[in-house]
Structure 1
């Protein structure tokens, strides 16, 4: 195959619309497969262990998807956030602080509402963080499909909000689900990150040096007991984003350009394929709606996210602590806040970490249901905003 078709295909995968559609397709395949007569094969493939036994790296395919492939996803997200903070729309404090405050509100209110709804229910002590996250890929995909008329600042705000609250959720995972911190491995990870930052500072550009460091960092973080996706986030935020006069583009821009197709076309869809396969029979749905933990997840994502993101944004702007994104109005912000209820990737990840067996399946089904409803409601709002802006 010539390089031109490959380059065109990579460009095709970089668009958020395509990324969102691939993610949706993988989710549908997972649901159909896991509820078909071939569900035994689905479970068998998901549980196959591959990798060397050394360093505890003989993991199931499902674990490789959520620990390994999602690290690539968060690396790309970290690169884009670093770019916006350094040279983009978030380069001033009042612009940068707004999505941070919105993300905090979009975590605190859903968690509080989830605890209020599910408090005391079996499993709630571990599952309270499930509605804390906003899915970056799905949310941006819905925005790209339905809101082409909104200003680019809406996309930047949503991206930053989603990255910040996903980072918060990953920190929650690291704190809650770290079983015995390996201090030696943690120290090795810190040393490797420091080496990566030093090489970036010294303008070293040898890929064959960075790749082993990135892999070793991931292994060290995984060995430390902290969730391995932290490695991707940290490496992304440490990558240099301002180019020197002799460079065509900065390392962060170059890496984002090269890795985004792999993230959108492989990492996130494969994770969805092995995470979203939950029972959706009438009996299973009935059990989900009778489960207070599942209802808490739905309330947190559908109501908590909308209220938390919008109220914290409104308060921050009205009090003068932050500035509204360029050319956005409050009705646009309501639609974006509703889109924050698309939990999916990291919410499924937390559900996997927090619960086991049927309880995990019910919680993941609640995430899928709430994310689907939030997507449809937000899409309707965004289409109306598009039409209003054309008038």
Structure 2
């Protein structure tokens, strides 16, 4: 039992599977007569929380714990751009173009379906996001049938997608700025930047100032989770070309510490707190209302059209090359998986329709429909799609390249890079 648990935790699919289970449990509870208890627990007013703006468990999860998740996302983005798969324009141009198209097309489809209905325009960004954990989890279930290039492409698209979602949250869903708190947040951020410039590699100053930054941003009117990304950008990273990650690199250490908490606690808890919706009370009129239909169509059709279309045009025009070891059918299957917009889509829907529980519930229905359909169809296509004729040979070559890169230099020579 213990060894089986270890294998599950170390697998790529584990985080996505836990998220799926948490969402399924929430849906079950909401539909067996316990919805009022479920909703009441999450939205019960807490007598004292220490932070006036966070007076319910639901707010603590969405504005508190999710700030840690966004901090982790920020660390991933920084690492990938400085020392990873997005470190050069040659590596990043196809994922960036695909992610951009994969955000624009779903938003346009949503506006075509729901934009003319009063009060729904604010939800345009809901189908624009891809869920990293869910999508990678589904792809990992395919095992060796999924080429390494597909996994790397999906991950990089999802990371660029997260950058876009963070920018959207900061710009489109910020209301009533408090200038004094915003100035205080800028001061804290400047202090963190100075720590970086002085090559302070201890973690506690960044964590302490990051907590203060989160509180200032929370009070400023900008959504508190943005503080997580901003704080992550100030954390130093030590680049070790051709060698394993440096043991003293703050970015890598924090990623290592936070990753299990994010994958196995924060994201499943967020899914549980936001996925519960009563399906029994929804008829066809509610399910196919403009809001859920616009979101579902945006996720399922918008993502595949935008991402696969961008890849096809990029390859045909010579802007980028095809994904190594993957067929066009497999590439299309990954574009389908990008339509899984669970975590970030739920998060944006909470911001877009803060004043209406009904609209938030309808948005959840659309997110669930679009995400589940994308997951099932994408998985089925990849499961039965013919493999590339050189699949095993290419996979062996890539494994050998990764192993060789890890033996070039000893980790004791970190070559610090100020970033």
TM-score, normalisation: structure 1: 0.90
3-state SS of the aligned residue for 1:56? coil
Counterpart selection for 2:130 from 127, 131, 134: 134
Structure 2 unaligned runs (5+)? 394-419
The answer to whether structure 1 residue 269 and structure 2 residue 248 are counterparts is: no
Equivalent residue runs for 1:334-345 within 5 Å:
334-345=332-343
Provide Cα deviations, 1:243-293, integer angstroms capped at 9, x if missing partner. 479953522111111110000011101111110011111x41424333111
Q: Is contact 2:326–2:387 with CA below 8 Å preserved after alignment?
A: no
* Residue of 57, 65, 69 corresponding to 1:69: 65
Alignment partners' CA distance in 2, 1:258 and 1:370: 33
State the alpha-carbon separation in 2 of the partners of residues 308 and 241 from structure 1. 33
Tell me the distance in 2 between the aligned counterparts of 1:242 and 1:260.
Answer: 19
Q: Is the radius of gyration larger for structure 1 or structure 2? A: 2
Q: Distance in 2 between matches of 1:87 and 1:280?
A: 45
Paired with 1:277 and 1:82, the residues of 2 have a C-alpha distance of 33
Tell me how far 1:163 sits from its aligned partner.
2.2
Bigger Cα displacement from structure 2, 116-125 vs 257-266: 116-125
Q: 1:372, 1:345 → 2: CA distance?
A: 13
Work out which structure has the larger RCO, using CA pairs closer than 8 Å and 6 or more positions apart in sequence. 1
SS at match of 1:148: helix
Q: 1:196 to 1:89 in 2, by over 3 A?
A: same
Cα pair 1:107 1:165 within 8 Å, conserved: yes
User: Pick from 320, 344, 347: which aligns with 2:345?
Assistant: 347
For the structure 1 residues 94 and 290, does the alpha-carbon distance in structure 2 shift closer, same or farther, using more than 3 Å as the test? Answer: same
Return the match for 1:123 from 108, 119, 126. Answer: 119
Describe the shift of the 1:53–1:273 C-alpha distance in structure 2 as closer, same or farther (beyond 3 A): closer
Size of the aligned set, in residue pairs, is 385
For structure 1, which runs of at least 5 residues remain unmatched after alignment? none
Counterparts of 1:322 and 1:96, CA distance in 2: 10
Query: Is contact 2:83–2:239 with CA below 8 Å preserved after alignment?
Result: no
In structure 2, the residue corresponding to 1:16 is in which secondary structure? coil
Is 1:206–2:205 an aligned residue pair?
A: no
Shift in CA distance, 194/326, structure 1 to aligned 2, threshold 3 Å: farther
Q: Distance in 1 between matches of 2:101 and 2:361?
A: 27
Cα separation, 1, equivalents of 2:144 and 2:125: 32
Q: Could you say if the C-alpha distance between residues 51 and 147 of structure 1 is closer, same or farther in structure 2, counting changes exceeding 3 Å?
A: farther
Contact 2:35–2:278 (CA<8 Å) still a contact in 1?
A: no
Select the structure that is richer in helix.
1
Specify the alignment match of 2:279 in structure 1: 280
> 2 CA distance for matches of 1:278 and 1:336?
28
- The answer to whether 1:60 aligns with 2:56 is yes
Q: CA deviation at 1:201?
A: 3.2
Contact 2:327–2:387 under 8 Å retained in 1: no
Please report how far the alpha carbon of residue 345 of structure 1 lies from its aligned counterpart in structure 2 after TM superposition: 0.8
| Equivalent residue number for residue 250 of structure 1 | 249
Secondary structure of 1:120's aligned partner: coil
Residues 51 and 218 of structure 1: CA distance in aligned 2, closer, same or farther (over 3 Å): farther
Q: Are the counterparts in 1 of residues 114 and 121 from structure 2 also a CA contact under 8 Å?
A: no
Task: Identify which of 93, 113, 118 aligns with 1:97.
Answer: 93
| Cα RMSD for the two superposed structures | 2.6
Tell me the residue number matched to 2:397. none
Cα pair distance change 1:208/1:91, threshold 3 Å: closer
Contact 1:288 1:365 in 2 (8 A): no
Pairing of 1:185-204 with structure 2 (within 5 A): 185-204=181-200
1:293 to 286, 291, 294: 291
Q: State the distance in 1 between where 2:217 and 2:7 align.
A: 32
User: Contact 1:81/1:160 (CA < 8 Å) preserved in 2?
Assistant: no
User: Structure 1 CA distance, aligned partners of 2:372 and 2:174?
Assistant: 30
Distance 1:171 1:331, change over 3 A: same
Find the counterpart in structure 2 of residue 384 from structure 1: 384
**Structure 1 range deviating more: 373-382 or 12-21:** 12-21
Contact 1:342/1:372 (8 A) holds in 2: yes
Is contact 1:114-1:296 (8 Å) kept? yes
- Change in Cα spacing, 1:145 to 1:298, as seen in structure 2 (3 Å) is same
